[in-house]
Amino acid sequence: MKNDRQYRDSLRFVFMGFIGIAVTCVLVLIITTIPGCKEFNNRVEEGIKNDPRPATPLINYAYPGSYMDVDTLVQKDTIWE
């Protein structure tokens, strides 16, 4: 059986956890309303859409000329051609 001190400590830790979750949620809301975040996210999103490389985790292991004729990282007259 738990004594009164254990119940108080448990209640205190649960309360501190809920306060921590609430503070984290408020901070995330404040950070997302900072001017410039939406513009930055839109630029990143457009950059990802316009990237000629395939959107797979294996892109790091792919031969640069294997996915398209146009490569944004390497010029055509380099070692891979």
pLDDT tens per residue, range 15-30: 999 999 999 999 999 8
pTM of the model: 0.45
pLDDT of residue 42: 83
**The tokens of 65 are what?**
């000329």
How many CA atoms within 13 Å lie on the side-chain side of 26? 6
Is residue 38 very low, low, confident or very high in pLDDT (cuts 50, 70, 90)?
Answer: confident
Residue 81 confidence (pLDDT): 46
**Which residues 6+ apart lie within 8 Å of 64 measured at CB?**
71, 73, 74, 80
**What is the rounded average pLDDT for all residues in the chain?**
76
